[in-house]
Structure 1
Amino acid sequence: MDLMKTIEERRSVKNYHQHEISREILTSLLDKAALSPSAWNLQQWKVMVVDTDEAKEKLYQAANKQIKIKDASATFIILGDLNAHDAIDNIADDWIKHGHLPQENRDGLIKSVNNFFEDDMNKRDEAVRGASLFAMNLMLISQDAGYATCPMIGFDKALVKEAFDIPDNLVPTMLITIGKGQVNNDRASRYPASTFAKFV
């Protein structure tokens, strides 16, 4: 994989050809995207994969009737889990198993993480942050595999949660369409680092 080439060629594709992507391939892409970083390795992301006609229709209605929902092979509903830290006991044990944490530090880690997530803003920030890191990984991995994607924020969160029976601890962060398609115009300009970065 040529990472820079993948980054440069990734575009937000809004027009898709009819193309079926198997669930095996979609699962493989998700498995690779799960190598994303996350605070304390909490892996806050959850994903609903919308790939049937019935599910596409429901999401289409909840996403301002954007036709790419129907035309794309599938759409990922990217969710951030507010309660991901509930698994910290298991994560601590996994860290110990892999040599990342001394056994005697286990209880301290668990206490520290639980204290951090007593703050509701910390819960939400980390849920969205973890899910977003996963989402970017998923788009780059999909691009490298030959698939076009488009991140979307144009949807009604309440309707999406209702349509797919999503529990309250999962925050709809974005949608990502995936399929075969292309952009035929030039990339819009990007600000250079000199306009947004400051060395201190």
Structure 2
Amino acid sequence: MQVKEAIHARRAIKHFDADHKLTDAEEKELLETTIQAPTSFNIQHWRFVILRDSDLRTKIRKEYGNDQAQMTDASLLVLFTADMKAWQKSPERYWVNAPQEVADLLVGWMGPFHEGREWLQRDEAQRSIGMAMQTLMLAAQGMGYQSCPMIGFDIEAVAKLVNLPDDHVMGPMVAIGKGTKDAWPKPGQLALDEVVIENGFGG
């Protein structure tokens, strides 16, 4: 499937074949493709919590997830989180394959860019989550699977369930699997002239 085709075909699917399982090779392919998503300074903030335990998934669905069937029925359920302090944690490892002068330059910039700017650290973590989520969903589409991004759950309760570290931020979940029911027809996209601004907003 071509990239543009996958973009246009991707929809938020709510009904999945609960009996379908991804193979280990398919799951690895999906995740290895997902980590090709870009991040600022190549920090790779994302931490993907694979919600595999069926009892845990049922608990999230029934108690904290508004009884969304895709939470239990999808072949793969990924909770996206990110480490806001990843820029402090052995940052040289993010540039291990770069020429030494490039690695030294970029690693040297990381501290001054992030230090004391907690709002930026959080924003960067969430931006990284967003790009990785879209990469995962398009990769799944290209492999013949469907997906559903979800934020309709009790974020604080689920954070406790997965023992989210204090320096991590919660993002949405993405369900991946074999869809059994088509999404509603596309509701419509805004016209380009409403969303594209040339050079700046009018005064």
TM-score by length of 1: 0.89
Contact 1:62 1:156 in 2 (8 A): yes
Distance 2:107 2:75 in 1: 41
**Aligned 1:1-200 pairs, distance under 5 A:** 1-18=1-18, 19-60=20-61, 61-86=63-88, 87-92=90-95, 94=96, 97-99=97-99, 102=101, 106=104, 108-118=105-115, 119-181=117-179, 182-200=181-199
Distance 2:196 2:47 in 1: 32
Per-residue CA deviations over 1:123-148 (Å, capped at 9, x if unaligned) read 10000001110110000000101111
Per-residue CA deviations over 1:28-76 (Å, capped at 9, x if unaligned) read 2011111111111011111011123122123212222222211111210
Question: Residue 184 and residue 138 in structure 1: after superposition, are their counterparts in 2 closer, same or farther (change >3 A)?
Answer: closer
Is there any run of 5+ residues in structure 1 with no aligned partner, and where? none
Contact 1:80 1:171 in 2 (8 A): yes
Q: What is the SS of the residue equivalent to 2:178?
A: strand
Distance 1:84 1:141 in 2: 25
Is there any run of 5+ residues in structure 2 with no aligned partner, and where? none
Distance 2:78 2:147 in 1: 10
- Give the aligned residue type for 2:130: S
Task: Calculate percent identity across the aligned residue pairs.
Answer: 25
Q: What is the SS of the residue equivalent to 1:132?
A: helix
Distance 1:136 1:128 in 2: 13
Contact 2:41 2:106 in 1 (8 A): no
Q: Deviation of residue 3 (structure 1)? A: 0.9
